Amino acid sequence: MNNVYELKHPLIEHKLSILRDKSTSTKEFRELIKEISVILCYEALADVKLDKIEIETPIKKMKTHRLNEDNLAFVPILRAGLGMLDGVISVVPNAKVGHIGMYRDEETFQPVNYFFKVPKNIENREVILLDPMLATGGSACDAIELLKSRGVKKIKFLCIISAPEGIKKIQAEHPDVKIYTACCDEKLNKNMYIVPGLGDAGDRIFGTK
């Protein structure tokens, strides 16, 4: 699939098996979300541009490259996206952070927007959008639209679990957005939950059920 990068690694499969298990504790679930997010962020930044600089080692001066962290912004979709934030911030600690608040209407299954705040000059930054689950793609596409309305030109979407329906929706509406996912699952069920999935990521991260 164009612009879709699925992590294929034994370590990811191992961590996902624990993450999916309904007996996994809230503490361990949070830790695993963070760990997988670190690996996703590592993959998503493989093509990032570096600035040329000169430093001095204890031995000699040398020319090298360094990431300008001000060029990046992480934007979690509330509330579940917050579970991924600690992981990606540990990789790029000086990146700016925005927030997009959305929830899913239980009758229509459509996303409802209630909060949107992003850093200044967001249009000049590469934005990494965070949400553990890409199900219908409704929330993701709405979030991408909000970012583009602010002039953002380069967006990547990071998720732990994705469904084919959500991937297709992003590809149809925003073919320029790259998707990084730990695993592409089978489908959505009649309640629009990912199968086999891992349940409600927000509830499991925050222990609300």
200 is catalytic: yes
Are 200 and 131 within 8 A, CB to CB? no
Distance CA 182, CA 55 (A): 36
The residue from 104, 125, 136, 150 that is catalytic is 104
Are 96 and 123 within 8 A, CB to CB? no
Axis crossing angle, helix 164-173 with helix 138-149, rounded to the nearest 10: 30
Beta-strand runs (E) in 38-118: 51-56, 61-66, 72-78, 96-97, 99-104, 111-117
The residue from 79, 108, 176, 204 that is catalytic is 108
203 is catalytic: yes
The residue from 185, 203, 204, 208 that is catalytic is 203
Torsion angle of the four alpha carbons 123, 127, 131, 134, in this order, in degrees rounded to the nearest 10: 90
Judging by DSSP bridges, how do beta strands 178-184 and 61-66 pair with one another?
unpaired
Cβ contacts of residue 97 below 8 Å, gap of 6+? 73, 74, 75, 76, 85, 89, 119
Axis crossing angle, helix 82-91 with helix 26-44, rounded to the nearest 10: 50
79 is catalytic: no
Distance CA 26, CA 23 (A): 9
Residues carrying an active site annotation: 104, 108, 200, 203
